[in-house]
Structure 1
């Protein structure tokens, strides 16, 4: 008998498991690594939407919780996967500079936007109109995070590297039986894999395919994250991750030449040096039609829960939303209506 079964181990699953561990709840995790979006993504956390110079949804609430969460997780796992890097937004014109200053003067954006423009001192970058620096930003090495957390779960007999079989759930009076495990609750944190879940696939997840390339550029020598029409993310050893594309029509993790060429073309508008593409990856973001998370209780089966739909902001949303769901289950503290799945009506 355990308190929880957690299905999936991306950002949502990891964050929810940590709430369970810290509150001395017993749990087991099922993970088959079929969902890759958090592993292939850039791993950035950034509170400002840099296309429009607006604050990401509730980022001022989420970022402090996320920062503390990842720091504590580094201590637990004895690894360092959180790298504090600056994000520099390339300006395309004087007009964009003025829009930056207008946004930086707003109360909620002031803590995150430097009002001193940064001149371009890198001859390998094309940036004649300077940069705006975003504050409180960085990059997670998500592969190191997930591999380390999987090892911790395995060492503590909490990990099942199996595909979860929904047909084997048996509903009993006060609990659920799955194979030889009895649990009070099952929490599904499956990312885009939710579309295969017969209990929650009625929810309007759209999904957005994102592709990244990795380049080697020996002349670039850039240690900051650069944002133009794409993100340029330093990985060390002259390697940089570049992305990402957004495709709502393709629903797979297969890389395409079309996306690769799109990223290369955009990169040529940013770089004034040679580069070589050395890798190309793709993943499905769990995006929702109203751009809000999918969190809550199944309308019929009260022991089933969902924690999903973070889109491209999972690093900051996951710790905050996971805490919200845990507090709802254990303490009946209501969820925010804008992320509660009851907003989509009946099952």
Structure 2
């Protein structure tokens, strides 16, 4: 019987790797999570918004009825364990762009599956004098945002204290794999889990998967007036992280795929912001990240087609804060108990790309 120092080696401490680590921890499994604080991270740039109704056509987020309750329970439990505020339950206000849009959206709210995510209270637009809402708007509930930097830092500290986190620059060449296990820096593990976000494209085990990474930029501003706890969503989002501070985003671009904020992306966001805000503001700064998106917009989760002790948990894209907790639970049940993964996220759907 092989002897392991830890059962699992988790590469990456973004929202994906951290969610998997917490589920393994709660299941009593041993692991070490490897993070490199010097490297850029899309999880740290992301606004962390969770929104059950998205898009111009007011579509319910995929699996929202399952993902959202589980995510809220997961983050509430972490708040207690880590003794810090992580989850901010905040309604989303969607100003109507026209009478036509107003009529269309109101008609859609007759659908019971959508109605449950719409506030029954009167339109709060009159309280939000700092935004353009000439045609009124829709208030979406069961929404909010997760303070990802606080979550990641607090989780890292918790795991560090228990010798479950290693701060290191990861190099795939340092890993040695056999059927008996994984070796990394003198320690033996049963299984390695890669949760590297965008950097999975450089991973020789999984570089055949159809990642379609996309760059996004957000701004941080100080409005000239105090703002209320409503996320404003109309083409872009304006997220109040405090009474006098907002995050604004996000852009989508594919060239170049780097981590640098650009003047062009800032100008694009500020142009859209003028149509949203009815007040002045001061631009504080800008950040860019690369989302690990996927061709079919579904996560990439599962075990390598040839090597049963090499796995991946990635491709969470723009909805990582709700996808990560739910599918981390599913993934851990798959690894430990052999339970089937949802075929829409299981990397088996792309095995033909590996064997061609």
Question: Paired residues, what number?
Answer: 347
In the TM superposition, residue 117 of structure 1 has moved relative to its aligned partner by 3.8
Match of 1:88 in 2: 93
Q: Deviations over 1:234-264 (max 9, x none)?
A: 1215111110001123211111111000011
Q: CA RMSD in A?
A: 1.4
Matching residue within 200, 204, 226 for 2:210: 204
Partner of 1:339, secondary structure, is: coil
**2: CA distance between counterparts of 1:100 and 1:117?**
13
Matching residue within 4, 7, 13 for 2:8: 4
Q: TM (normalized to structure 1)? A: 0.97
**2: CA distance between counterparts of 1:328 and 1:218?**
51
Match of 2:177 in 1: 171
Paired residues of 1:91 and 1:130 also in contact (CA < 8 A): yes
CA gap of 1:35–1:323, structure 2 versus 1, over 3 A, is farther
Partner of 1:231, secondary structure, is: strand
Partner of 2:8, secondary structure, is: strand
**2: CA distance between counterparts of 1:237 and 1:130?**
22
**2: CA distance between counterparts of 1:31 and 1:10?**
8
Match of 1:277 in 2: 283
Indicate yes or no: 2:115 matched with 1:110: yes
Q: Deviations over 1:111-162 (max 9, x none)?
A: 1123654433333221101110111011111111111111111111111111
Match of 2:63 in 1: 58
Q: TM (normalized to structure 2)? A: 0.94
Indicate yes or no: 2:221 matched with 1:215: yes
Deviating more after overlay: 106-115 vs 317-326: 106-115
**1: CA distance between counterparts of 2:181 and 2:253?**
40
Which blocks of at least 5 consecutive residues in structure 1 are unaligned? none
Matching residue within 328, 332, 347 for 1:341: 347
Deviating runs (4+, > 3 A) in structure 1?
Answer: 115-119
Q: Deviations over 1:245-292 (max 9, x none)?
A: 011232111111110000111111112221111110000111001111
**2: CA distance between counterparts of 1:253 and 1:59?**
30
Which blocks of at least 5 consecutive residues in structure 2 are unaligned? none
In the TM superposition, residue 220 of structure 1 has moved relative to its aligned partner by 4.7
Match of 2:337 in 1: 331
In the TM superposition, residue 324 of structure 1 has moved relative to its aligned partner by 1.0
Paired residues of 2:95 and 2:234 also in contact (CA < 8 A): yes
